[in-house]
Amino acid sequence: MLTMVGTGSEMNAGAVITNPHTHQKIGQSVGAYTNATHGMTLAAVSLPYYRYILPYGVQKFKRFAVNVWDIDPAGKTDEQTAQEGLDAMEAWMNELGLVMNISDLGATEEMLEGIAGGTIILPGGYKVLEHDEIVEILKESMK
């Protein structure tokens, strides 16, 4: 499980929060602006990122929900099952006391464009993110 939060590799073969194959390193860019540790930045951006790319990789997110969080898919759409898995992950991360937003790490609205600009984007994964999409994920990560 910690591997998923750390690299996202179980969720996406390519475009991840920080992935050596695509180098979309949102977490590192947040850390560059806030001096927060890599793990803290990943925890803070993971869920907004996963929720954003969920429609592009719903089958893997569903499998994650069923196999990791024991979510029962009966009577639910694949997307509902997948979302319940992310909800379970969020509850677990809260239980661990992880920082769940980048504002608690010191990020401000004024930093978001720079953080997004510092995120290297190469093709791969479920969804290749554009600069504006990264800004939106960062805005969600502020909450």
Domain extent listing, the chain = 2-8+15-141
pLDDT band at 2 (very low <50, low <70, confident <90, very high): very low
Predicted local confidence at residue 60, as pLDDT = 93
DSSP annotation of 120 reads -
Q: What is the pLDDT of residues 41-95, one digit of tens each?
A: 989 999 999 999 999 999 999 999 999 999 999 999 999 999 999 999 999 999 9
Predicted local confidence at residue 17, as pLDDT = 45
Would you say residue 110 has pLDDT above 70? yes
Query: Is the CB of residue 114 less than 8 Å from the CB of residue 2?
Result: no
d(CA 68, CA 90): 13
Tell me what the mean pLDDT of segment 107-113 comes to: 95
pTM of the model: 0.82
CATH superfamily for 2-8+15-141 is Dehydroquinate synthase-like - alpha domain (1.20.1090.10)
Would you say residue 120 has pLDDT above 70? yes
Nearest-CA neighbor of 119 among 27, 46, 51? Answer: 27
Would you say residue 15 has pLDDT above 60? no
